[in-house]
Chain A
């Protein structure tokens, strides 16, 4: 039986995990961006400023390019140590070295202002560009995979250096005579694995170990203009399920009503 470890400001790690669920950030007069409500404790003198105020404008111009969800983020500034956690999800930090990484908006907890945060073209995702450290949460440890790989939409955390993912549909079992009967009547249900994200090319795909999604975090709405994908409703992004295309000969949502 081990006794609980007691930490004080000197023994807390600097910019490292305290345990699998908590991350400690050390601030020495520097700044960090963090999502609202993810700080659980801090030592020292740290100011938390909601962004959108005048004196942070310069910082925002260089490292925050997603103006419409600025209200979900705060800037921590000062000196001390700050603990970050998110509902007992696994928390990990990642270093980017002049790189780029796209991550599901709900999974990103905090990042250094040396990185620039931008909205991804893929709705519901954010892209970090530059050099620095960021902290992300996931359900279960993150697994890194090399393309080519096809990933369940709910298990995808993000990807680095990859071309954007595309949708992949498997309907093999819905074709043919038996498949037709299945599609028409819903007998047999669906496998729930008809739709994946497919990654090809060079890069790394980040995967969480379960299909439990972080709550969708609004990434802000992009202005609706021609040529901008999903320039309207932010809901119904790639994380949504059951969006298999309608097949010919399918009676409405009958199969969904009967099967799964």
Chain B
């Protein structure tokens, strides 16, 4: 496992020769050994097409490639960090929440509309994800940033989880999500509970929720 959590706001990653790692630019706090940090023009994996895709989708976050031999500490902006282990499934996360991830993971961009059509796009607007989100698939570890602590809520079949869209951080597994509305006449006259929109996730997997409704 390449990431070791030092405390809630800092992770230590081990870099070995021949193994790449991607991290957000400027997120390195300290390192030991012989490690190089190269800004990544394409903003992650794949070639030019992937880069253009990410630029169009506004999921191009400034990344750098971390290579060499040593250990690196990562942390950024005082945000809490959650390490997610992926074993063959796909993590859906906003690109600017990515602190660092294994180079072995396959990075992609997903159109929100492809999960639930128009409602998917509305969902993207409400959660602040926009029309696109980043996917990471394969085997490896991802360090995700969140404002406040992170809670992992397991999703099991038949037991959907409802999440405040603003507190949503990421999810992985075979999960369908839809935006459920609880709009009533009270919302129309401005006496709503403030919880009119919820994200309903069902299937099997896990969702990560931050202890704050503040965006990064």
Contact = CB atoms under 8 A, between A and B. Distances in A.
A172 to B, nearest CB: 5
A211 B99 CA distance: 13
Contacts of B38: 172-173, 191
Interface stretch (A22-30, A148-156, A227-235): A148-156
Interface in A155-181: 155, 170, 172-173
Given A172-B38, A191-B25, A212 B78 contact: yes
Contacts of A182: 39
B98 to A, nearest CB: 15
A70 interface: no
A83 interface: no
Contacts of A152: 28-30
B9 A193 contact: no
Interface in A175-222: 182, 187-194, 196, 205, 207, 209-212
Contacts of B158: none
Contact of A193 (B64, B77, B79): B64
Contact of B26 (A139, A193, A205): A193
B76 A210 contact: yes
A211 B77 CA distance: 6
A139 B10 contact: no
A207 B29 contact: yes
Contacts of A196: 30-31
B93 to A, nearest CB: 20
Interface in B31-63: 31-32, 36-41, 62
B77 A210 contact: yes
A66 B193 CA distance: 56
B86 interface: no
The 4 closest A-B pairs by CB, nearest first: A192-B26, A209-B9, A140-B9, A210-B78
25 contacts: A139-B78, A140-B7, A141-B7, A143-B6, A143-B73, A145-B30, A149-B32, A150-B31, A152-B28, A152-B30, A155-B75, A172-B36, A182-B39, A189-B62, A192-B39, A193-B25, A193-B28, A193-B37, A193-B64, A207-B30, A209-B10, A210-B75, A210-B78, A211-B76, A260-B25
Interface of B: 6-10, 25-32, 36-41, 62, 64, 73, 75-79
Given A141-B7, A150-B32, 17 more contacts: A140-B8, A141-B8, A143-B10, A152-B29, A155-B29, A170-B37, A188-B39, A188-B41, A190-B39, A191-B64, A193-B64, A196-B31, A207-B30, A209-B9, A209-B29, A210-B9, A211-B26
